[in-house]
Amino acid sequence: MKKYQPTLYVLFALIGVLIGIYISRKESLEKVFYSLNKVDELMHLVHSNYVDSISMEDIIEKTMPKILTELDPHSTYIPAKDLEATNADLKSSFSGIGIRFIIQEDTVHINEVIRKGPSAKVGLMAGDRIVTVNDTLFVGKECTNDAAMRKLKGPKGTDVKLGIKRYGEKELLEFVITRDDIPLHSIEAAYIIDDKWGYIQVDRFAENTFAELMIALARFQFRGCDGIIMDLRGNGGGWMGIALQMANEFLSKDDMIVYTEGEHHPRIVEYANGSGNFKETPIVVLTDERSASASEIFAGTIQDNDRGTIIGRRTFGKGLVQQPFEFTDGSAVRLTIARYYTPSGRCIQKPYTKGESREYEMDIVNRYERGEFFSQDSIHQNDSLVYKTRLGRTVYGGGGIMPDIFVSSDTTDVTSYYSQALSRRLIMQFCLRYSDAHRKELSDFKTWDSMLLHLQAQPLLDEFVAYADGKGLKRRYNSIMKSRKLIERSIYANIIYDILGMLEHVKYINTFDPTVLKAVEVLEQGKAFPVAPEETATKE
């Protein structure tokens, strides 16, 4: 039994934390110890008497997540083997070879080589395909995203040998790449729209996000920017502290940002310190159903302080705060320790049932099926959780943050042909092939608008339809004509991304994105600052 003791200690420590959540302050400490001894006794019984040979380590690894599911949807167990990868997205860098890739047709396709990174230094190019890794074939079913990450990432200073298939080359090209620190950017698109409005797309709240934000804002300030569009759509959150720093830039001294409170964590209130340089700058925040956690903290404080306008769709609804606890074996738990509350006093955590995760996980799908993405009237707010902003505007708790201006998802020209072309990744595959075949001529274009003019003069729709037909998506003339604009825009967007990268891709998408266009309209009309309800009624 001794060999299991380190792992058992981890389990007992976790159970001790969890039991502490359930017991009230009046219950005796003896009950806690009794529960721990009972679990200890069970483990001894299983180890000493069970009919078959078993791995106690495996049992414990499988038990840890099950215990946490009895608490809430966001308390999670992270095995030691997954901890580094889990934390990587919130770090400012990782050690690797410096490429972005996708898996297509069971092969790693490089769609971007990070400038000044290890791969760029040895001559890898966008469009290259990785065929071998360290002289071993790496294609086929074993070529998954996770497997590629494991093979390409590694300690700084170590080498990896790649066999590369390059368009136009008959033989494999071999490159030996020395891994190095690769910066991770959480703001990949920041630019000025119409010479007035600074647009910032924040993918996540990582440890370097605030620094990236300040660089973008400084550039906007230098250019004489008149207002900010903060795009948090699809942003699942990250470090709360980073969200607080970012919100501080737009709030006046002593404006409340957020407060947190839990059974074992006393109320902690966070206020703006008044040092922000954009306290008077008009701001619009874009949200959707995938905006969660730290995104909701940022949007919530802007809304409750009547500091700016929220545009888009209702956010995810995560109002729980997790704290990481690491164990000696390298594993960890992220345990919910408190709820966070926006300045009006609302917790926007959506309902959940302990021990039942499926309904919670299906919430976004259920919203779609109820028509919430298409009609604001389909959204049912909890009338028992009504709060007021500083100006007296009504806001609701218990289910995400409802935007001030709702923008529906437009499905007018969507057909089954277009949906299948997307879901089967045929548009993306076609665009990768086209980009590879025309990379030399397309590389002469430096901006999305100059490339777009060239692409619009090519018979891309016809070429795609023929390609898709060869892949089993049969031609349907009426559907193709109805979805023509959507298909062409998807083709142009993918090729622009393949050749010019994320920033130019986002610039092109935003020219017809209805939520961005609504944000620009609100800023142009000088309506970014909310007004009191009676003033709204008077103006109407």
Phi, psi (deg, nearest 5) at residue 135? 65, 10
The whole-angstrom separation of Cα 235 and Cα 237 is: 6
**Which of these ranges, 63-72, 82-91, 242-251, 326-335, has the smallest mean pLDDT?**
82-91
User: Token pair of 109, please?
Assistant: 């396709």
Structure tokens, 155? 């300690």
Average pLDDT, the chain: 88
Contact present, 231 and 200 (Cβ < 8 Å): yes
| Two structure tokens written together for 353 | 């049932």
Are 522 and 528 spatial neighbours (Cβ–Cβ below 8 Å)?
yes
Instruction: Supply angle C-alpha 115, 119, 124, rounded to 5.
Output: 100
> Closest Cα partner for 492 from 470, 473, 514, 507?
507
- Taking 3-state DSSP, the helix, strand and coil percentages for the chain, each rounded to the nearest 5, stand at 40, 20, 40
Give Cα separations from 180 to 99, 133, 185, 358 (angstroms).
12, 17, 16, 41
In this predicted structure, the answer to whether residue 426 has a pLDDT above a threshold of 70 is: yes
Residue 13: which of 333, 284, 299 has the closest Cα? Answer: 333
Note the pTM of the prediction, 2 decimals. 0.85
Nearest to 480 by CA among 412, 411, 414: 414
Q: How far apart are CA 109 and CA 425, in angstroms?
A: 14
Which residues are CB-neighbours of 140 under 8 A, at least 6 positions away? 106
288 with 519: CB under 8 angstroms? no
Q: How confident is the model at residue 26 (pLDDT cuts 50, 70, 90)?
A: very low
- The crossing angle, in degrees rounded to 10, of helices 426-437 and 416-423 is 60
Among the listed residues 520, 513, 521, 526, the one whose alpha carbon sits nearest the alpha carbon of residue 234? 513
260: phi then psi, degrees, rounded to nearest 5: -125, 150
Three-class SS state of 406: strand
Residue 219 has pLDDT above 60, yes or no: yes
- Across the strands, what pairs with 338? 321
pLDDT at 15 over 60: no
- Using DSSP's 3-state secondary structure scheme, residue 359 falls into helix
Asked if the model's pLDDT at residue 34 lies above 70, the reply is no
The DSSP H or E segment spanning 496 is helix 484-500
**Would you state the structure tokens that stand for residue 279, as one six-digit string?**
């306290």
Share of the chain above pLDDT 90, in %: 57
Please determine, for residue 169, whether its predicted confidence score (pLDDT) is greater than 90. no
How far, rounded to the nearest angstrom, does the alpha carbon of residue 25 sit from its chain's CA centroid? Answer: 38
- β-pairing, 197-202 with 227-231? parallel
Both structure tokens of 326: 């690491």
pLDDT at site 371: 86
Give exposure, 164-198, as e/b (b: 16+ Cβ within 10 Å): bbbeeeeeeeebebebbebebbbbebbbebeeebb
- Give the integer Cα–Cα distance in Å for 299 and 225: 21
Write down the residue that tokens 């990379």 correspond to: 439
> Which of helix, strand or coil describes residue 408?
coil
Active site residues: 293, 304, 318
Can you give the pLDDT at residue 321?
93
Residue 11 has pLDDT above 50, yes or no: yes
Cα–Cα distance list, 12 to 33, 34, 38, 63, 158 (Å): 10, 12, 11, 12, 38
Question: DSSP class of residue 409?
Answer: P
> Per-residue pLDDT for 18 more than 60?
no
What average pLDDT does the segment 452-478 reach? 96
Residue 281 to residues 205, 255, 413, 523, 527: CA-CA distances in angstroms?
22, 16, 37, 11, 12
Burial 501-524 (b: 16+ CB within 10 A, else e): bbebbbbbbbeebebbebbbebbe
